[in-house]
Structures are given as structure tokens and as C-alpha cells.
Amino acid sequence: MAPDVAAVQAVVDAIRAADFPATNGLVVAVGLVNEAIRTVDVPALAAEHVVIDTVVDAIRAVDVPAIQAAIVAIPAVTAKQQGLLGVRGQPPLQEFFQNGANGDPPDASKWVLTVDGDASIAISTGGIWSCNISAGTGAANDAVMRTFGIQNFAPFKEGITSLNFKARFYAGDLSGEFGIGTISATSLATANLWDTALSQMGIWCDNDTVYAESADAVADEQTDLTAYFADATWVTIEIIHEIGVDVKFYINDTLRATHSTRLPGLDVQVAVAAKHTNGFNPNLYAHFIQAWTQ
């Protein structure tokens, strides 16, 4: 059989046309790919795949509507909470008397102290952590703790709708005299001044009688609250002055008095005062004191 000269010639021409350097480069590249494949850590890749699957499954399992509903259900911050956070009204006073050891004076950045004779004001860590305001044994001794010159409240500034005071305390002996609340920013705030015509709202006690007290610059208004107090018994008081309307007095979260005749009308300070009166020291313990505007 005669050879197919044309076919042979075509093969020869193809061989001559081959780009051997390029072909060699391809062979080398294929070799590198094969080597890379050989070095792949297949078990590790499988483990990573499992982790990815777990994450994806967790994402798929998220109950987005439930999360949205929970976000919607978050209650709005109340005016009281805004006041205590200092984002509404004026900066609040919040004192829990945990800034020192037993026997230390309360925080000097918040309180100015007045003590006569053997009267004393000091942190007490026995039982409920508190501040002890003691008038001592001397007749007419005063012990006064107040925010005078450090933090006053101006409840009549534009946009303020209420002044609020809250405290938890007890008196060792109601036969003595004490006052607690807010009182004219310029007052000495001694216990005997809490039933006078000073711009104030608070609780005043004298000779076993406890009163809700409010006053303007002319006269005071009183309500007898003795039935809700006892010697050495903790009480929580909250006093709310709705500016220009009334002053409400709550004892242990129950409204016990409302004053609408004599309302505070000036800037005030926060104060706690004890006086040795009638031969007795009221010996107050304040667990916490808060004051804020809304």
C-alpha cells in the first residue's frame, strides 16, 4: 500500500509547528496543581465545613419575628427614669452611703455637715448599710446633713414639671425631733425649722408626732402621719411636688397626704436633720436618699 504522503506531511508540519516551551510550561503547571491537591488537608476541610453548616443552621433557626416583637415590647423610659438618669430636668441626687467604711463621714462632694457637741453623722455598715444622723446627748444638739452650696434644685425653671424626693430611713426614738426632705436653699435646715414658713416639703417629727410638711414663704401646711411611723421601724417615703398644683406624700408606696395650699416656691436643698429635743435623741438612719426633677 502506498504511503499517504499528504497525511504524513501534515503530521510533520504539526510537529514542526508545536510550541515546545509553551507545552512544557503547561506540563509544569499541571504538576504544581497535582502537588497542591496532594497537600490538601481533607479532614480539616471537612471539619470546617461542619462548623460552617452549624453556623448556617443557627442563622436559619433565628426567629426574626420574635426578636422584632421583643424589641417592640421594650418599655419606653419613663420621665422618672429619665430624671434619675439626669437626661431630663436637672442632675439628680442619688446617695446610698456606700462610699466609705463604718464610722466614716458621708461623701463630702455631696454633703455639708453640721454637728453640735457629741452629735455625729457617719456611715454605718451594721445591718443595712446606711448613714447615722445622731444628735447625741446634749440638750438642743443639732446634727444636719445637707447639700447646701453643692447641689440645689431649681424646680421652677422652664420645662420642669415636678420635684421628687425619696428616702428610706428610720428613727430610733420618735420622741426626739427630726426633719427630712427638701428645704429652702439658704436655710440652716435644723430640725426645728421644718414646721416654719420656709420653702420646703418633707417629714417633720417632734414629741412622738410625725407630720407631712409643706410650706411657702408665708405659712406651712401639716398632715398628721403618726399612725404610719414607729420607733426603730424602716419606712420609705416619697414626696412629689407637681409644680404649682400640689404636694403628695407617700409612705411605703401608699398615698397618705396631699397638700395644695402651701407649696414650696423657691430653690431648695436636700437635708436630713436631727435635734436632741424633749430629752431625746431621734437617732436617724438613712438607707438611701434620692432627689430629682422631671
Instruction: Choose the weakest-confidence range: 61-70, 71-80, 149-158, 213-222.
Output: 71-80
Band of residue 36 on the pLDDT scale cut at 50, 70, 90 = low
- Whether the per-residue pLDDT at 28 is higher than 90: the answer is no
Tell me the average pLDDT of the chain: 88
Lowest mean pLDDT, pick from 17-21, 102-106, 215-219: 17-21
Give 11 or 174, the one with higher predicted confidence.
174
Domains along the chain with CATH numbers: 5-61 (no CATH), 81-293 (2.60.120.200)
Confidence bin at 30 (pLDDT 50/70/90): low
**Residue 42's pLDDT band (cuts 50, 70, 90):** low
pLDDT band at 53 (very low <50, low <70, confident <90, very high): confident
Between 43 and 212, where is the model more confident? Answer: 212
When mean pLDDT is compared across 81-85, 178-182, 203-207, 217-221, the lowest value belongs to 81-85
Q: What is the pLDDT of residue 45?
A: 59
Task: Name the pLDDT band for 1 (thresholds 50, 70, 90).
Answer: low
Cα dist from 129 to 121, 126, 178, 230, whole Å: 14, 6, 20, 20
Confidence check: pLDDT of 20 > 70: no
Summarize the confidence of residues 221-249 as an average pLDDT. 98
